[in-house]
Amino acid sequence: MLKKLEEIKSKAVDELNRIADLKELEAWRVRHLGKKSELTQILRGLSSLSVEERKAIGSFANDAKSVIELLYKQNMETLKEQFYQDIEATAKGGKKGAAAKLDVTLPGRPLPLGRLHPTTQMLRQICDIFVALGFQVIEGPEVEWDYYNFEALNIPADHPARDMWDTFWIDYENERGERNMLLRTHTSPMQIRVMQQTRPPVRVVVPGKVYRYEATDATHESMFYQIEGLAVDEHITFSDLKGTLYEFAKRLFGEERRVRFRCDYFPFVEPGVEMAIDCFVCGGKGCRLCSDTGWIEILGAGMVHPNVLRNVNYDPEKYTGFAFGLGLERIPMLKYGIDDIRLFYSNDLRFLKQF
């Protein structure tokens, strides 16, 4: 009888080595621990044995049973783990079974990496160009006073030019009952702040968010980015404005670019201009991108108005300067053929991942 039990145990262990999945393990359990198994039969028959035999065989049989039960549990765990690894490997189109077991020599799985927003990329690229030309990069507040956004820029309260900027006014009144706080409509108020804080020579570019109270559509957003530029010194002339902006256009859009300056009006510059580059798609022949004109307008600029210099106590007889302001999103829109400005800030990864 003892020999028989020894055989049962070694047979079970032997068979276990050939078991490859959970289904086979279950069949093995039924075979060796189930009601009809030899072991169970022996344990049942113990009562018909003599006390002596019962003691010897009983303890031996119970030992065999615990060993088989333990083996069952251990194998169950291993096979379960194997099962989940297989599922994962299959999902990834990899190998099944033993080959899918953990290989500690493999490199780690790469984590998904983020990237810079297209606006940030463009902003850095443009600032880099101006830094190389000797400009300093500074930033300023997005919530502004009427004084900086309009008044000091030669746009008094009753001036019709205020219509050029649809404004978000902040729900705030000062002690004189004036609503004089707003979300800046352009980066130009930083011209005033910079000049108040320093004496010439001044050479700065100011990137930042600006706000306009208008209905959004494919070409209008209520929040967008601008980059302001300001250079003030003795003997600065319109040639400096042209030379600087021409150099900028070539560095950003290519050496072969041509530029065009035309009259434009902004109350804080005199004379005021708008600058266009020749269309980089058709080379100036006329196409959809440039609306058949051959030119693409990219920024407003001009010589700093003497009144603006007076407002910051700069002597307009001694100092002159130029300023410019460009809308940032327009540039990647032109460059990559993006037809809706709202795509920039609607957080759609399908769009953002392309940059």
Q: Rule CB under 6 A: is residue 118 a binding residue for ligand PHE?
A: no
Of 188, 244, 311, 320, the one binding ligand PHE (CB under 6 A) is 188
Which sign, positive or negative, has the C-alpha torsion 280, 281, 286, 288?
negative
Question: What is the smallest separation between the CB atom of 165 and ligand PHE, expressed in angstroms?
Answer: 7
Question: What is the smallest separation between the CB atom of 228 and ligand PHE, expressed in angstroms?
Answer: 6
Q: Of these residues, 194, 226, 304, 312, which one is catalytic?
A: 226
Beta strands 136-137 and 202-211 are parallel
Q: Which residue matches tokens 């700065």?
A: 204
Q: Which is nearer to ligand PHE, 43 or 252 (CB)?
A: 252
User: What is the side-by-side strand order in the sheet with 136-137?
Assistant: 136-137, 202-211, 223-233, 320-327, 295-304, 269-278, 259-264
Task: Record the tokens describing residue 130, joined without a space.
Answer: 């101006």
Q: Tell me how many degrees the CA angle 127-131-136 measures, rounded to the nearest 5.
A: 95
Is 89 exposed, middle or buried (CB count within 10 Å of its CB: 0-12, 13-18, 19+)?
A: middle
Q: Of these residues, 191, 232, 323, 330, which one is catalytic?
A: 323
Angstrom distance (rounded) from CA 72 to CA 29? 7
Of 186, 203, 305, 330, the one binding ligand PHE (CB under 6 A) is 186
Residue 269 appears among annotated catalytic residues: yes
Q: Which is nearer to ligand PHE, 126 or 301 (CB)?
A: 301
Q: Rule CB under 6 A: is residue 225 a binding residue for ligand PHE?
A: no
Q: Rule CB under 6 A: is residue 325 a binding residue for ligand PHE?
A: yes
Q: Rule CB under 6 A: is residue 324 a binding residue for ligand PHE?
A: yes
Q: Of these residues, 61, 210, 231, 269, which one is catalytic?
A: 269
Is 177 exposed, middle or buried (CB count within 10 Å of its CB: 0-12, 13-18, 19+)?
A: exposed
Question: What is the smallest separation between the CB atom of 290 and ligand PHE, expressed in angstroms?
Answer: 20
Angstrom distance (rounded) from CA 302 to CA 313? 20
Taking contact as CB under 6 A, which single stretch among the options 59-67, 155-163, 175-183, 296-304 is the one that binds ligand PHE? 296-304
Give me the amino acid identity at 207.
P
Q: Rule CB under 6 A: is residue 211 a binding residue for ligand PHE?
A: no
Size of the site for ligand PHE (CB under 6 A): 10
**Coil vs helix vs strand at 289:** coil
Residue 117 appears among annotated catalytic residues: no
List the catalytic residues: 165, 186, 212, 226, 269, 323
Chain residues in the site for ligand PHE (CB under 6 A): 186, 188, 266, 269, 300-302, 323-325
